[in-house]
Amino acid sequence: MAAVIAAAGAPLELTGVATAVDPALVLPYLANGDDLAEVGLAAAPTDQRTIADTFARQIEGKGSGHVPPYHHQGHRPAPQARQPP
C-alpha cells in the first residue's frame, strides 16, 4: 500500500479512523496482562505496556466503531454500535 501512495505523488490526508473489533477477542485481550515484549510486540526496548493496555488504547476514543454480532451457541447477537452524534 505504501508503494501505491508514494506513486500517486500527492500527500496522504487522513480524514477518519474506524475500529472493527472481533467480539470473541474483547474480553481475552482486555484481561491479558502479558507484556508486549514477552510476545515480541514491543515498540522499543523500554516499552513496558501490556497487551490489555495496548488493546484498550486502540479501541478507546475513536470516531466510530463497530462490533459485529456475536453468534455463539444460541446467544443473541450483540446490539449494533451507534455512531456518535
| Per-residue model confidence as pLDDT tens digits over 5-43 | 778 777 777 777 777 788 888 899 999 999 999 999 999
Helices (H), 1-85: 2-8, 23-30, 51-59
- Mean pLDDT of the region 64-85: 53
Q: What's the predicted TM-score (pTM) here? A: 0.54
- In which residue are the cell numbers 514491543 written? 42
Residue 58: band (very low, low, confident or very high) from pLDDT cuts 50, 70, 90: confident
Strands (E), the chain: 18-20, 64-66
